[in-house]
Chains A and B, each alone.
Chain A
């Protein structure tokens, strides 16, 4: 299970690997996810970890585009990929929307929600990543993979 607010990674300096400004549309998300996965591959990140990070980024970007940008292709989402000296990966996704309170989201694994067609993205991110923080009123997500 991911920890919500551990202290371990907050003050460790990290170096930037990618800084993407992504148009708010689904094809641009796919291209960005593929680019990031390729970069992680070049860093010899194991495949399982690459898949988990890639899916978490897919979900974060989808939320940013659908909710933060309201699918307006004239808007953009920023996605930063960083690594720290311990080899941990940090992803920061920022959208121009008003944000949201992630603590108010319902549990998509509740019996009555299992057949729902939406509402799983943030839950999945929290399952796949080791640290997840929502900042700036929720329009920025910072997530770490150790």
Chain B
């Protein structure tokens, strides 16, 4: 999985490319979020436009950090999840836990 990170208006925008599943992909995203949190960043946007699927380990990671970031006054918001990712999140009853946006700018500006 490719992971690119940029910072805009005090928000970490993480762009993923490839399946988010058990192994290097989930470990890489966990490390990326941990690094952001370690730097004091608790506002995170994850762009899923190029993520064809997320497995249960990836979803577990997202909801875990959603909860911990919210506890620290931040949030974790999603951008452009695929139709299948939306279906998966809905099947597991967690879709409504997340704020979902159509593009990075809208997600970033929602923190203002």
* A interface residues with partner B (beta carbon < 8 Å): 25-27, 29-30, 33, 48, 51-52, 54-55, 58-59, 62, 66, 108-109, 114-118, 120-121, 123-124, 127-128
Contact = CB atoms under 8 A, between A and B. Distances in A.
Contacts of B49: none
B84 A48 contact: yes
B61 A123 contact: no
B63 A116 contact: yes
Tell me the dominant secondary structure on chain B's binding face: helix
Contacts of A121: 55-56
B23 A26 contact: yes
Contacts of B53: 51, 54-55, 58
Band of interface residues on B:
20 to 34
20 contacts: A26-B21, A26-B22, A26-B24, A27-B23, A29-B21, A29-B23, A30-B21, A33-B21, A48-B84, A51-B52, A55-B88, A58-B55, A59-B55, A62-B56, A62-B57, A114-B63, A114-B94, A124-B88, A124-B91, A127-B91
A115 B59 contact: no
A109 B92 contact: yes
A101 B63 CA distance: 26
Contact of B56 (A30, A52, A120): A120
A54 B59 CA distance: 16
Contacts of B97: 114-115
Given A51-B52, A59-B55, 5 more contacts: A54-B53, A59-B56, A115-B63, A116-B64, A124-B91
